[in-house]
């Protein structure tokens, strides 16, 4: 595997379910990110982790819970989501400085 991988690629869940999204980067980067991409809206930064420490929580509801066990792995735990949370969730990683971010293919999430 190369670059940034995300699993699953597609996820359908009910509002009472609990699920997790996984991201893995094979680039040796020290920072990882979660973004939300909704139709007709700009990419929204959700969380930033730098050397496993969370450095940014962009006012994300608590039903989204990130976890970064090491610099190569990032999880997004989901519980009691709302239909408006349906979107493409993108993971990215970057070397120091954070300008050049490399994205994974995303997880397409549908909340019913």
Partner 1 sequence: QKEVEQDPGPLSVPEGAIVSLNCTYSNSAFQYFMWYRQYSRKGPELLMYTYSSGNKEDGRFTAQVDKSSKYISLFIRDSQPSDSATYLCAMRPNAGGTSYGKLTFGQGTILTVHP
Query: Which residues in this chain contact partner 1 in the complex, by CB under 8 A?
Result: 4, 6, 31, 33, 40-43, 45, 48, 50, 55-56, 90, 92, 94, 97-106, 108
Shortest distance, CB of residue 81 to partner 1, whole angstroms?
21
Shortest distance, CB of residue 84 to partner 1, whole angstroms?
18
Give the residues across from 54 on adjacent strands. 49
Shortest distance, CB of residue 99 to partner 1, whole angstroms?
5
Tokens of 6: 């995300």
Closest CA relative to residue 83, chosen from 104, 109, 65, 108: 109
Of 86 and 105, which CB lies nearer to partner 1 in the complex structure? 105
**What are the distances in angstroms from CA 63 to CA 7, 41, 81, 102, 110?**
19, 21, 6, 26, 15
Of 78 and 90, which CB lies nearer to partner 1 in the complex structure? 90
């Amino acid at each position: 595997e190369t670059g940034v991988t995300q699993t699953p690629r597609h996820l359908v869940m009910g509002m009472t379910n609990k699920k997790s999204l996984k991201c893995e980067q094979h680039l040796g980067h020290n920072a990882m990110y979660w973004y939300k991409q909704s139709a007709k809206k700009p990419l929204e930064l959700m969380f930033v982790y730098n050397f496993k420490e969370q450095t940014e929580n962009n006012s994300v509801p608590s039903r989204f819970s990130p976890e970064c066990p090491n610099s190569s792995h990032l999880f997004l735990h989901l519980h009691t989501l709302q239909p408006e949370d349906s979107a493409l969730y993108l993971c990215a990683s970057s070397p120091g400085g954070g300008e050049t971010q490399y994205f994974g293919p995303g997880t397409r999430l549908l909340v019913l």
